[in-house]
Structure 1
Amino acid sequence: MKYRHRAAALAATAVVLAGAGPAAAASSSPAPSPTPSVAIPDGLYGTTDPTYDGVWRQSLALLAQESVGVTPADKAVAWLAGQQCANGAFAAFRADAGKPCDAKLMVDTNSTAAATQALAALGNHDAEVRKAVTWLKSVQNADGGWGYTPGGASDANSTSVVAGALAQGGETVPNLRKGGKSPYDALHTLALPCDGKDAGAFAYQPGKKGELAANADATAAAVLGLLGEPLTGSRQDDSASPAACTAFDASKEPEKGAANGAGWLAEAMAKDGHLTSALPGAEDQPDYGNTADAIVALSSTGLNDQAEAPLRWLEGNFAQWAKDSGPAAYAQLVFVANAARGADARDFGGQDLVKLLNATGPAPKAVEKKDQSTASAEKKDDDKGLSPAYTIGGGLLVGAAIGFVLMVRGRKRRQS
């Protein structure tokens, strides 16, 4: 779902639909344009051009605020709800929400799913959530999944963020079948086999010849999707018995697929303590957004030990990336802080993510004050179990065991 920073990807999709050329690779994550081509609406988070990510970044910001006890400004919530079309769908951005949606407006599953998750989490938006859920179900593909646009080829990211939204909307995801196929079946077709290269990873989509290429962004998304988790993920108890990649039946044991993906992510980050972005024609560089998503995926499967080094790396290196990227990036970091063991959204690498996020939009109605002594005590308790092999100051993990307990214990579920 989730997921990388989406502005560039959404722009690339629009270019493809206009026939202007191929989309950027799914792993690309440049910051959005610093010069808005449209006026920034009152109530919207962020100051960059919202054309391709307005609903996405607003949804993530509101989700993150709700998760840390912040009551968003009424106008921020009203802006998001007002972006919905009469049929329940959302576009990436509607400059004039007072104008009815027409056939020329490009609505999409990702914006709709993210908005659904946010409105469901905030509460008091049952009508909007139900309309969005109904629309998402109506555009499910015959393979059980979803593409970015209605009728587009299914991909791991879209299928996963929609699955999380439908779970938030009260649906039983395994029972949502089209042509006998569920969302989990669609994700299963994108899973790399356990007996080959990149065992356990997920592809974004099949290649031209049906080949599957491991994609970190898609893998992190698929982990949450197979667990029915929203973009926020959820902190789980430590896995007690790591396991290697195993074949799984998507309809009966999606947790095994999630375990496989989490194991691959842990291995991918074991060397450097973070994921790397390989853009065509450019030198490899750290991928902050995908690293954040991967940490949430690991923590949501109980691989807290394997998430430790990437967490410390991100705490020491996130500042400029988040500042450049805006509210969606701060929201991703809040998700990390909530999900990862030993992390605190109000003291993440010495900075208060809640304040930083709040400062990117309208002042919230209320901010829950957490007792700092309690927060510090909780952090210390979490840190007690850390191995001496980890250094809080930023040392990287030399090696990481991979896998996780196949039975996910005590999994949390939000209800709309």
Structure 2
Amino acid sequence: MLLRRTAAAALAAFSTLATAASPAPSTHPAALYGAADPTYDGVWRQSYALLALHAADTEPAEGAVDWLAGQQCADGGFASYRADPTVPCDAATEDTNATGIAVQALAAHGDDFAAKRGADWLAKVQNPDGGWSYNPGGTTDAGSTGVAIGALKAAGTDVKSVTTDGMNPYDALRALQLPCGHTDGGAFVRLRDGGTGAPAANAKATADAVRAAEGAGFVVEAPAQDMPPRTGCEGSAADAGAAWLVRQLDQGGGYFSSGPQMPDYGTTADAVVALAAGGHLDAARGVYNWLATHAAGWSQDNPAALAQLALAAYATDNPTRDPVTRLGALVPPPQQQAESSGSGSVWWLAGTGLVVALCLGVLLAGRKTRI
């Protein structure tokens, strides 16, 4: 009886050891860039990362493009993140920003079919004024309209041909721009309906709108030569918006702020790409130089932020690969995953051998007692 209880205890110890030694299943997608919870930004940061890697002519992690394509809903749109892609999408969770940037990333990596489906979905949810809101049916905003324009271009669609009630996306952008007689003439507001009070200039909305008004997406190649920005509110919508950006950046020390002693690195990076899209290479380089010096902490382990830095470097023809290298490190290579798994297996086998030896020892001891 004592022998049986001892053997049973040894087997129980074996079971406990085996359970402890077996690696716990991970719910984090292996091909997703970044370790943070992807609930609200999984598609966004993956798409941004893929765009930056494409611009840097760098292969993405194995499965990264397939993971993004697998996030697409049956109707062509994208939600911020689908934990289980086998479950049909709730249309209420789909948004224009996730769809717009995913279309650009998939088109860059050769998935034209998925990109076209996403662009078709965007056309179906266009607002009557020609623009887009974050969620279909909301108020048109500059950022969402800018992302959608970039997506349509990436999918090979003639942006001006995408209309509702005769209004195209560029009409929607112009409706969001403050007139030249305004204190902030040339700047863009975030929403067409500014709510109560006078509409206020918005730096991010202006950067997004300037880039889109130039017909560009998130990836902008550095212009071959510099075109100095205008100093006033004349010219096209993009010219006037760029002039406002430059004035504000000059007044702010070369960067945008979200509050006292609080640099807005993201909007500053957006401004670099927007200025480059307009051909203002020297102005864009000046802003990028500030980013390169100050934004390391902001971008730490943040795929979207690293992608913004990488794309700002690309737009200014800066050869640095630091953001791209740091971005690539956010997804462990397959061989490292295999080595990690193998190491765990070694310890598991060692533990198994120890328990088996213990069981044999107990059995042998029992036999000697009987003799």
TM-score by length of 1: 0.71
- Checking the alignment, whether the CA contact within 8 Å between 2:229 and 2:239 is kept in structure 1 is no
| Amino acid paired to 1:215 | N
Check if 1:262 corresponds to 2:250: no
Change (3 A) 1:242 1:148: closer
Equivalent of 1:277, from 258, 262, 267?
258
| Residue of structure 1 equivalent to 2:84 | 96
Check if 1:119 corresponds to 2:106: yes
Check if 1:135 corresponds to 2:88: no
Check if 1:75 corresponds to 2:63: yes
| Residue of structure 1 equivalent to 2:9 | none
| Residue of structure 1 equivalent to 2:338 | none
SS at match of 1:198: coil
SS at match of 2:201: coil
- Checking the alignment, whether the CA contact within 8 Å between 1:266 and 1:307 is kept in structure 2 is no
Range 264-273 or range 145-154, more displaced: 264-273
| Residue of structure 2 equivalent to 1:291 | 268
Superposition misfits of 4+ residues, deviation over 6 angstroms: none
Change (3 A) 1:241 1:65: closer
1:9-408 equivalences in 2 (<5 Å): 39-103=27-91, 105-123=92-110, 125-205=111-191, 206-209=193-196, 211-240=198-227, 242-246=229-233, 256-271=236-251, 272-278=253-259, 283-323=260-300, 326-341=302-317, 343-346=318-321, 352-363=322-333
Alignment partners' CA distance in 1, 2:59 and 2:195: 46
Alignment partners' CA distance in 2, 1:353 and 1:364: 21
Alignment partners' CA distance in 2, 1:163 and 1:151: 17
| Amino acid paired to 1:110 | N
Q: Which structure carries more helix by proportion?
A: 2
SS at match of 1:70: coil
Range 107-116 or range 220-229, more displaced: 220-229
Change (3 A) 1:242 1:47: closer
- Once the two structures are TM-superposed, the CA of residue 309 in structure 1 deviates from its matched residue by 2.8
| Amino acid paired to 2:221 | S
Aligned alpha-carbon RMSD (Å): 1.9
- Checking the alignment, whether the CA contact within 8 Å between 2:61 and 2:328 is kept in structure 1 is no
Alignment partners' CA distance in 1, 2:40 and 2:291: 26
Alignment partners' CA distance in 1, 2:227 and 2:53: 32
Q: Quick one: percent identity of the two aligned structures?
A: 47
Alignment partners' CA distance in 1, 2:180 and 2:52: 35
Alignment partners' CA distance in 2, 1:69 and 1:142: 39
Change (3 A) 1:175 1:358: same
- Once the two structures are TM-superposed, the CA of residue 244 in structure 1 deviates from its matched residue by 3.9
Aligned residues: 308
- Checking the alignment, whether the CA contact within 8 Å between 2:143 and 2:205 is kept in structure 1 is yes
Change (3 A) 1:219 1:241: closer
- Once the two structures are TM-superposed, the CA of residue 237 in structure 1 deviates from its matched residue by 3.6
Change (3 A) 1:240 1:48: closer
- Once the two structures are TM-superposed, the CA of residue 311 in structure 1 deviates from its matched residue by 1.6
| Amino acid paired to 2:262 | Q
Alignment partners' CA distance in 1, 2:307 and 2:313: 10
Deviations 1:345-386 (A, max 9, x none): 32xxxxx22210101124399xxxxxxxxxxxxxxxxxxxxx
| Amino acid paired to 1:51 | T
Change (3 A) 1:314 1:102: closer
- Once the two structures are TM-superposed, the CA of residue 208 in structure 1 deviates from its matched residue by 1.3
- Checking the alignment, whether the CA contact within 8 Å between 1:64 and 1:335 is kept in structure 2 is yes
- Once the two structures are TM-superposed, the CA of residue 229 in structure 1 deviates from its matched residue by 0.6
Range 62-71 or range 232-241, more displaced: 232-241
- Checking the alignment, whether the CA contact within 8 Å between 1:277 and 1:285 is kept in structure 2 is yes
- Once the two structures are TM-superposed, the CA of residue 126 in structure 1 deviates from its matched residue by 2.0
Deviations 1:67-87 (A, max 9, x none): 111121331111100000000
- Checking the alignment, whether the CA contact within 8 Å between 1:71 and 1:364 is kept in structure 2 is no
Range 312-321 or range 231-240, more displaced: 231-240
- Checking the alignment, whether the CA contact within 8 Å between 1:45 and 1:362 is kept in structure 2 is no
- Checking the alignment, whether the CA contact within 8 Å between 1:299 and 1:307 is kept in structure 2 is yes
Deviations 1:308-348 (A, max 9, x none): 33222111111110005x0000100011110014x2232xx
| Residue of structure 2 equivalent to 1:402 | none
| Amino acid paired to 2:175 | T
Alignment partners' CA distance in 2, 1:243 and 1:94: 45
- Checking the alignment, whether the CA contact within 8 Å between 1:203 and 1:214 is kept in structure 2 is yes
Alignment partners' CA distance in 1, 2:334 and 2:162: 36
